[in-house]
A and B are shown apart, each in its own frame.
Chain A
Amino acid sequence: MTTLSESQSKALLAPYGVPFLTERIAADADGAAVAARELGFPVVVKLCGDTIAHKTERGLVRLGLRTEGDTIAASRALLDAATEADGPVELLIAPMVSATREFIVGMVVDPQFGPTVLLGVGGVLAEAVADVVVRLAPISVVDAEEMIDSLASQALLGPFRGEPPVDRAALVGVLMALSAVAVADPSVVSVDLNPIMIADGRPIAVDALVEVERP
């Protein structure tokens, strides 16, 4: 089983219609600063590499960087945090999305039932809250709609803290995209889109982790 880097994961998933932010890759801190200027502040900088799976847990994500100076400092710190075991690493620069609601959308091959698509309340509390719905891939649009309807936390889907309701059709689109991945690419063992942030009601995947099984 191989874990793809965040940028490789996103490159694999984007053609299926998973909504991602416009991002830049940079090899060093100066490159990161240039990318940040192009994208517009504030930005997020993450350290990415083929073997880095859970960046948040390792402190490899720096949020809300507002200046070139901050970006350079954060980038250097991230590169310094890389270990031998991480192999080749790079910096990923993305616009900072501020959102109060986070979901997780995923795909995993179940040993008994084969590929499944999962939707849950996401973010760092995903596993503790465990408000999760699963279906077997491929799913229909009706299946995807029922997944959204089946979440216990329905209040998160309506208007929330001054933000508009979640665009359900767009969220259905994310679920359908992962279903399509499961059908089209049997080498994909699992996909994490965690978190899916809800920005102005629209779901955006700000992280992606793909595991593949290569012969």
Chain B
Amino acid sequence: MTDRAEQFRALFDPRGVIVAGASTHPGKFGFVVLHNMLTCGYRGAIFATNRDGAEVLGIRTLPSIDEVPDGAADLLFVCTPAATNSELLEAAAAKGVRAAFIASAGYAETDDEGRRRQDELVALADELGILIVGPNGQGLVSTPSSLCAQIVAPYPPPGRIGIASQSGNFVSSFMNLAIQSGVGVSRALSVGNAAQIGVLDALEFFADDPHTDVALLYVEGIGDGRRFAERLGAVARRMPVVVLKGGSTASGARAAASHTGSLASDDRVFDGMCAQVGVRRARTLTEAFDCAAALATQPLPSGPRTAVVTTVGGWGVVTADALADTDLELAPLPEDLLDQLDRLLPPRWSRNNPIDMAGGETKDTVPEVLRAVVGHPDIDAVVMLGVGIQSNQGALERSGPFYPDHGLERIVAFHERQDRRYVETADALSTEFDKPVLLATELAVTHPDNAAVAAMREAGRMCFPSAERAVTALAHLKAAAAWRRRRGLDPSGTR
């Protein structure tokens, strides 16, 4: 293991953690971080320092880091005022600490004095061989170690997405979406002022991290653009990377007298760089998370030919419209597939893509139609709509005054079983044929305990809250696959 890798190991999978500046006041960082670590189930040793040696949340604090047993902790979480942190770092290094997260403010974000203090801290950390993240950062999450070392919620479900952000708020937002969707997170890091470690350092760690399949980044400042592009590109060849960039609309003034100079705006250059190095650039917070979630939980499509399968009309039409705005194609249905579907569906079905089943389901119709469509060699991807509606009716019946009489108990259970089965079939077919099968329904947010939504969550996949969001995510999958294929890279090589 390289020194940097060992430092990152200490950051995300520490044997023990020291919280410097633990507080009895429930409004202080030094209380909240300890609370979050204890509550979210970190299994390593936890030490805390406090000038007065007070007890905090049942932990007997130590007056100084010197009291911590040698080698018992390798991560330091710093909540103390900026002025004292150099001494802390030295004391922690003497105890075997290899990584420190500095939550404290009062550094380069304030004034020249803060900038000087920050530079000194980095120089000291380099000398001591300690990786420091921050200062002025929100914290870190590492689900393989059940570690929530953050001064704010939430703690996400475990999963395969690694998050690194120049803004702590975005870490929280992405993790909230992870909680809502059930598509989880491996590691999350807010880099704060990025004095020593920036998002690209975290990204390079993710590329080697066996717990992380997809990287999700939020960036504002880029620094040396060439270097940024090279480092981003090197990782993107090995792992899917999604980037959300703040400040996209700020236009850069160019001195050039040329048309080219005025056309090559900052945003277009960044956009082109992302397309070139094989990074998926998202325009919004939800698009970024959806894209990462799709990359983490769906196979890449072999091409653009998309089938839309829906239980009833309007949804399919709108989804076809959304497809038309992307590089995806609404696949024409081949004769043999039409024949197969004619045998499975009532005569009033759409006989076209979107495949509108016109509510003509018998017990096995949906699984059989799905198998025919997903399994067909001329179909590269499927968007499935309308799951969960029967269970939603069931939910109303279950809560009404007539339940469980009038046969309601039996029919509600039947509908819930069926909706589960549809989702489990979609999941299994996606795996069997190695094709993306995306489910979309607003029930994902309006009724998260709907049987179909719950089944998708249990399958570990994203149930998209709208068809448009599913289509946008699928378009990203298609573009990611096309980028790899055109460069002779195995599209499945990243997962």
Contact = CB atoms under 8 A, between A and B. Distances in A.
Contact of A116 (B222, B257, B269): B269
A71 interface: no
B272 A135 contact: yes
A135 B268 contact: no
A136 B276 CA distance: 8
A111 B487 CA distance: 28
B262 interface: yes
A139 B261 contact: no
A203 to B, nearest CB: 16
B225 interface: yes
Contacts of A211: 256-258
Contacts of B259: 104, 106, 126-127, 192, 194
Nearest to B482: A146
A113 B225 contact: yes
A70 interface: no
Given A112-B222, A116-B272, A1 B255 contact: yes
Interface residues of B, number: 28
Interface in A108-130: 108-114, 116, 118, 120, 126-127, 130
Contacts of B1: none
A194 B128 CA distance: 57
Which of B257, B259, B275, B487 has the most CB atoms of chain A within a 10 A radius of its CB?
B259
A108 to B, nearest CB: 5
A96 interface: no
B378 interface: no
B337 interface: no
A134 B255 contact: no
A8 interface: no
Contact of A118 (B255, B260, B266, B487): B260
Nearest to A110: B269
A107 to B, nearest CB: 7
Contact of A190 (B258, B269, B270, B272): B258
Contacts of A150: 275
Contacts of A134: 264, 268-269, 271-272
Nearest to A134: B272
Contacts of B261: 106, 108, 190
A106 B265 CA distance: 13
Contacts of B222: 112
Contacts of A111: 252, 254
A112 B257 contact: no
B487 A142 contact: yes
Nearest to B273: A136
B406 interface: no
B264 A118 contact: yes
A143 interface: yes
Nearest to A195: B259
Contacts of A118: 260, 263-264
Interface string A186-215: 000111101000000000000001010000
Nearest to A115: B226
A24 B486 CA distance: 42
A3 B226 contact: no
Interface residues of A, number: 38
Contacts of A106: 258-261, 263-264
The A interface is mostly helix, strand or loop, or mixed, namely strand
Interface string A1-23: 10100000000000000000000
A127 B272 contact: no
Given A3-B257, A114-B226, A134-B271, A104 B276 contact: no
A33 interface: no
A150 B275 CA distance: 10
Contacts of B229: 113, 136
A136 to B, nearest CB: 6
B258 A127 contact: no
Which of B225, B229, B269 has the most CB atoms of chain A within a 10 A radius of its CB?
B269
Contacts of A145: 486
A7 to B, nearest CB: 17
A132 interface: yes
Nearest to B257: A53
A133 interface: yes
Which of A3, A112, A126 has the most CB atoms of chain B within a 10 A radius of its CB?
A112
Given A111-B252, A211-B256, A139 B276 contact: yes
Interface string A144-178: 01110010000000000000000000000000000
Contact of A209 (B252, B258, B487): B258
Contact of B264 (A108, A147, A209): A108
Interface of B: 222, 224-226, 229, 252, 254-264, 266, 268-273, 275-276, 486-487
23 contacts: A106-B258, A106-B263, A108-B260, A108-B261, A108-B264, A110-B269, A112-B252, A113-B273, A114-B225, A114-B226, A116-B269, A118-B263, A127-B262, A130-B263, A132-B264, A133-B268, A134-B271, A135-B272, A136-B269, A147-B272, A190-B261, A191-B258, A194-B260
Given A1-B256, A106-B261, A132-B264, 4 more contacts: A104-B259, A130-B263, A143-B276, A147-B272
Among all A-B residue pairs, the 10 with the closest Cβ atoms: A106-B260, A113-B225, A134-B272, A112-B225, A190-B258, A190-B256, A192-B258, A108-B260, A108-B261, A135-B272
